[in-house]
Amino acid sequence: MTNLSFATIKSMISSLCIIIFFISIVHAYLYTQNECLGEDSLQNCLDVYVRGPTYYRKDFAYKNDLLLERNSRVIHFPVAFVHPIDVFDVQSAIICGKNLNFTVIARSGGHSDESYSIGDRDCTLIVDLRYMNNIIIDTNTQTAKIGPGVTLNTLFYSLSVHDFAFPSGECSTTGVGIILGGGLGYLIRKFGTSSDNLLDAQIVLANGTIVDHVKEYPDLYWALRGAGNAGYGIITSLTLRIYPIQKIVTSMVFTYDFDQTQLVFSVVNKLGNSFHPNLTIQINHGNVDKFEILGFYLGSSNDAKPHVQKLIELTNPKNESYVEGDWYNRLIVNDVGKRNIYKDKTFYIDSSGLSYEGVEYLMGFMKNFTNNFLIRTMLVTGRANEIGRNETAYVHRGLLYLLLIEITLDEVNYETCLKDLEIFSRTFQENYTSYESYQNHIDKELDYWQCRYYGENFGKLVKIKQKYDPNNLFNWNQSIPTYTEISCIS
């Protein structure tokens, strides 16, 4: 067998990426030669009524818009990308789409795992909200009013300047659409989910009506907190509850050998509900040699250590590290430019934790899987579990942790890896986890997704959809439908 140097392999990978990039561009170019039905009429409408830039498939900027999708595994070709500058542009785009029979899709950060932010088929109309990115912070009322084009990085940095924080994810380029589908992160145990802290919103409905204060519509407000990114309208501003935050926080890393996995899960199962609310942890597996617990504590390292002492004593990590800093710099993960071909699966684990047999099955998957993977297990206890299952559309309460599997795909093992992941996931969920999955990591292969994502709230969500979008203008494969025969009430 020929031995290839690291530099040669790196060069080959770079060349392959360049080839794939140009193939995608050529594909996009060739596709633009075929018009969507009614495309000219739509362009005439948008050009007259929308003031922000609009890019059609003949425009070079259209290709740039396509490449903003984080997951390059799925690609569709919208009829156009509209970039509104205000709520009236959004209203005009919706009316043009509605009158000319184009499905309308909103895009915030482009982080949909199935690329639903460019639709689930060709010829949809995309309303890209990136230019609507104002942030108004009121420290007296402890609120922030933000535009739908704001990324987590911008939001977190703006809040940190005032020594405030907001609970959400940690990837810098994620859009605030994450807030509408739950929004989990290292502050969840202290402050709850993102959607728990949505106080109000402005939304444009399918008929073009601008609702300035969604809180005045209790059913719609309820739906937006957990299913707001599932097809009720286009959000044009969000009012958030924000929190004063400690000036010093501590991030921790505890390193283990792979064969300590059973031990660590058993200890977290016992301690996970009793950790101090200022502390949360996440177990990260990225290979079968080592793994880590990442900890985040609101306070100094001296304050943090007593709260992780029992965890350390019972799990015996190989290495420990503690780093102090401000919450923004310790929490945010810079993922700028990290476009990839990947697939995600999520599993909620109930309050008793993952069983010995479940951990064994998970370890077996890691040992046998041939491509790169990252398995993150995050505590979802604390404040998030103090809210009832049906108080909002976010139904996942009373659970211990969320387990997320992300696999990276390549051309060689693409189909095999997807098949192996699917076989594992169905057995794993059937035998070892709760019934539920996390809607912000959408999965088009997930069976009974209506009930796994929304539980007994699904029927109510359908009725609200019927009321505010009866003709299903905002739709894709896993949006809330206007009609269903599925019942999620056992």
Q: What is the pLDDT of residues 133-148, one digit of tens each?
A: 999 999 999 999 999 9
Task: Report pLDDT for 172.
Answer: 86
Identify the weakest region by mean pLDDT among 19-23, 127-131, 390-394, 414-418: 19-23
Q: What is the pLDDT of residues 364-388, one digit of tens each?
A: 999 999 999 999 999 999 999 999 9
Q: Is the confidence at residue 3, as pLDDT, over 60?
A: no
Nearest Cα neighbor of 163 from 92, 94, 248, 83 is: 248
- Residue 251 phi/psi, 5-degree rounding, is -100, 140
Q: Count of residues for the chain?
A: 490
Q: Is the confidence at residue 75, as pLDDT, over 50?
A: yes
Q: Which residues of 99-116 are buried (b: 16+ CB within 10 A; e: fewer)?
A: ebebbbbbbbbbbbbbbb
Q: What is the pLDDT of residues 207-257, one digit of tens each?
A: 999 999 999 999 999 999 999 999 999 999 999 999 999 999 999 999 999
pLDDT band per the 50, 70, 90 thresholds, residue 15: very low
Mean pLDDT throughout 185-202? 97
Burial class (CB in 10 A: 0-12, 13-18, 19+), 437: buried
Element (H, E) at 29: helix 6-31
Q: Is the confidence at residue 311, as pLDDT, over 80?
A: yes
Let me know: does 238 contact 257? Beta carbons within 8 Å. Answer: no
Ramachandran quadrant class, 119 (left: phi over 0; alpha: psi -120 to 50; beta: rest):
left
Task: Report pLDDT for 33.
Answer: 52
Mean pLDDT throughout 69-87? 95
Q: Is the confidence at residue 335, as pLDDT, over 80?
A: no
Task: Report pLDDT for 340.
Answer: 86
Mean pLDDT of the chain: 93
**Domain parsing of the chain, residue ranges:** 1-31, 32-128, 135-244, 249-450
Q: Is the confidence at residue 453, as pLDDT, over 60?
A: yes
Share of the chain above pLDDT 90, in %: 87
| Rg of the chain (C-alpha set) | 23
Let me know: does 423 contact 452? Beta carbons within 8 Å. Answer: no
CA 239 – CA 89 distance, rounded (Å): 20
Note the CATH number of domain 32-128: 3.30.465.10
CA 244 – CA 247 distance, rounded (Å): 9
Tell me how crowded residue 337 is: count the other CB atoms within 10 A of its CB: 7
CATH 3.40.462.20 fits 249-450, yes or no: yes
pLDDT band per the 50, 70, 90 thresholds, residue 2: very low
First to last CA, the chain: 58
CA 291 – CA 283 distance, rounded (Å): 8
Q: Is the confidence at residue 44, as pLDDT, over 80?
A: yes
Q: Indicate the DSSP class of residue 151.
A: B
Mean pLDDT throughout 440-450? 97
Note the CATH number of domain 135-244: 3.30.465.10
CA 364 – CA 66 distance, rounded (Å): 37
Tell me if 32-128 shares its fold with 249-450. Answer: no
pTM: 0.92
